Amino acid sequence: MSTDQRTRPAIGDYAFLSDCNAAVFVDRWGSVDWWCLPRFDSPSVFGRLLDPDAGHWTLRPDGDDWTISRGYLRDSLVLATTWSRPGAEVRITEALALEPGARGHEIGKRTSHALLRRVEGIRGSVAFCSEFRPRFEYGLNRPRLARDGDLLTAEAGAVSLTLVADVPFEIAEREECATARFVVQPATTLDFRLSYSPAYGPDLRESGTAQSVSVDDTVEGWRSWMEPHQAYHGPYRDLVRRSALVLKGLTYERSGALLAAATTSLPEKLGGEANWDYRLAWLRDASLMMRAQWVAACPEEAERYFAWIARAVGRDHRQTPIVYGVEGERDLTERELPHLAGYRDSRPVRIGNDAWRQTQLDVYGHVLDAACLLRERLGPGPLDEDVSRMLADFADRAAE
């Protein structure tokens, strides 16, 4: 494994975690390189995906002579990575926590904003290292690190993070980062919980909910959501089921919006300038998303997504953007972040997307197609007055 592989991973080396409010990307060598809080489209607290100095949290065994295998636990977005070599084996299990006890279609509605990482010793004694180096606001803001008993806190601006771990972390000189070195023995489990709280609101980090989140409960939450979505038995069933989980993970649960991506500025071509923010919801994707969700047997999600479209569009049907923010925002004015190097030096990095200013007539057809699909699958019935007016106006606009 080269140093370049570890510091500049390929996009395919990242795994996706979600709590249906925000997303984490963790590379195969144990580095959390992307987490925006508290929403998918919020500024990052870890942003090494887009710049080496924009923050990360690494948790991995020492040495480079490891065979690494990883995959999601069955019917979940909980990741398990196994590190093995002759005489030694350890497993790291990671998840964005779901609210304790949340099941079925309730998952993600009241997130605890906590990243869970569990280290399990399987064979041999294994030396581990961890480096915690958060950088808030897309790498612009270096937080103050402090110890509070067994807690490690990182605070700056509007963001507070608290790391609770079964091993001690030492704060480096000048508070650049905090590090931990420890040894994992067979049949030993060590837990790490990193929690977010807004600096100027209720402290969510040490609430009863935050303290009771667990990897096992999160696994059960995801599996309970998958339970009513088992109807598909056609070709590539496992891939279809995995795709259903990814679509759920890309859903902003508070509104029902389905995002095009959980990242910004990953390039269409390495070194190129076509690097856009896709942490948004496009109307043109409506019918395709609905068809995908129904193939995966997700009628409730599809129905809720259409309700989000109707709410986002509102009554101003003549000035309908083609893309919205996750809570229906219209003004998505684009700007560049020149302090970031970009993924593998692909500049510029952008947040926001000026596509909201564009007029694309096909968007009306996509929404009408989604409405037809909704009626086809759910059967006849009266439409909401606002939805009926929206669809009629869309048909008129497309015909003009």
Q: What CATH number corresponds to the domain at position 252?
A: 1.50.10.10
Distance CA 342, CA 334 (A): 16
**Could you say which of 199, 229, 259 is where a domain stops?**
229
Would you state the pLDDT for residue 162? 96
Mark whether 42 and 110 lie in a shared domain. yes
Whether residues 222 and 320 share a domain: the answer is no
Indicate the helix (H) or strand (E) that contains 159. Answer: strand 159-165
pTM beyond 0.95: the answer is no
Cα dihedral 372, 377, 379, 383 in deg (nearest 10): -50
Residue 238 and residue 327 share a domain? yes
Candidates 71, 8, 52, 58; CA nearest to 31 is 58
| Residue 187 shares a structural domain with residue 313 | no
pLDDT at 382: 67
Examine the domain organization and report whether 80 and 223 are in the same domain.
Answer: yes
The range of the structural domain enclosing residue 105 comes to 3-229
What pLDDT, on the 0 to 100 scale, is given for residue 400? 74
Domain boundary among 211, 229, 247: 229
Does residue 61 share a domain with residue 114? Answer: yes
Contacting residues for 246 by C-beta, under 8 A, at least 6 apart: 16, 77
Q: How far is CA 90 from the centre of its chain?
A: 25
The answer to whether residues 349 and 376 belong to one domain is yes
Tell me the CATH number at 200: 2.70.98.10
What residues of the chain score a pLDDT lower than 50? 208-209
Q: Do 289 and 305 form a contact (C-beta atoms < 8 A)?
A: yes
* One domain, residues 400 and 282: yes
Q: Cα 328 to the chain's mean position, in Å?
A: 19
Q: Over the stretch 303-356, which tens digit does the pLDDT of each residue have?
A: 888 888 888 888 776 678 999 999 999 999 999 999 999 999 999 999 999 999
Residues 322 and 204 in one domain: no
Instruction: Return the pLDDT at 208.
Output: 47
Q: How far apart are CA 28 and CA 262, in angstroms?
A: 18
Cα distances (Å, whole numbers) of residue 392 to 101, 197, 313, 396, 399: 42, 44, 13, 6, 11
Residues 204 and 271 in one domain: no
Say if residue 253 is in the same domain as residue 167: no
Note the pLDDT of residue 5. 58
238/250 same-domain check: yes
Last residue of a domain, one of 207, 229, 251: 229
Number of domains comprising the chain: 2
Shortest CA distance to 154 belongs to which of 169, 168, 142? 142
